[in-house]
Structure 1
């Protein structure tokens, strides 16, 4: 069955939130992160408020992308060349933080040429790298909120670089918002398509089972009817058609036993 997320208001390509560039700059300079202050759920662990398992919901979302991953890496990162997410050892850490890191790298993976084809710069600290990190932070916050995980800033050291970027070009923030919305929407669209395909396959399998059961029942009815017809024709018993067994035993087709005649 398709998984129903508890926070199902997923942004589209043109929506995450819509403050002005000046508002965002002012908040960042005060140490505030505007995209963490909108529709943030009150989840404090990795359990949905309706009892669902957030980790299972995320794994459903991740599986629908078909992106490869490797556990036990020295650090968590996404490799565009291998199209693979490497995850550091999560044992002993906060499970929600592990999922937040995974989601952040998953957003980077949506920029692969086979998906949304964003520019994925390889040089750390470059302008392009700063923009991509801004996209990943905003989209990851949206995905976390939709899953029921309280979002948090994954790369606080990037804030100063974002401030410099937004001061240099006020178009960068609008671009990042649209790209982040597209990345989040892409993940949920893939999940919904996968869930719909799974539901369709289950429905087809159930219909095939019902058809098979109906054919088997029809076959049994046909065999019983054929058996009755063979008995009635005398092919099985050797008796005349409609000739009862007691009558044949007594040599009298009209014979009835005393028990049957008393009723």
Structure 2
């Protein structure tokens, strides 16, 4: 006798999302960060709020691609500062593109750096971290922008859910007039600022113009439900 297959039960089981498994939980100077595994994907939770996962990296890759495309033609070996290591999609995309010169990544959470260097996320970013162009800076992005004298051809920032919805309150200062002025100052002439956001923001576009940026525009990535993820783009005049 052939084994019985109940297609209705199979369908119901397929519709139930897999339970998550907590792989690591750390308490740091900025609160709690958690790495979870759900099925074949990883999730990062910050202070109890979902931050990102590995299910769809289109917008994180767009952050890098759009910035490179917006740079002036003929610029060789441009440098990029990636704000936030996250699940590694933006870093991997940058390392895949041989046109980038120096690739600096700022990450303030030691736990996230550890998950990439010696943990489960190594399978995503291991090759990119080993790229000789890559440097990981373990510091807060806002502190780095305030203290460094280095200028970059592109700033690709993804440190929160965007200018209108911050997981960590102090991250809001990045999108303030002072924060945007620092971003402008850290760019080379003709350089590009790219900011990831979980939703479009006309107010942020205006804030970029008020800060002195030019060619302000927004590129969208459609999602299955709800408003699209976006990348806000703006250039420094030459």
Q: TM-score range by the shorter chain?
A: under 0.3
Larger Rg: 1
Write 1 or 2 for the structure with the bigger share of helix: 1
Write 1 or 2 for the structure with the bigger share of strand: 2
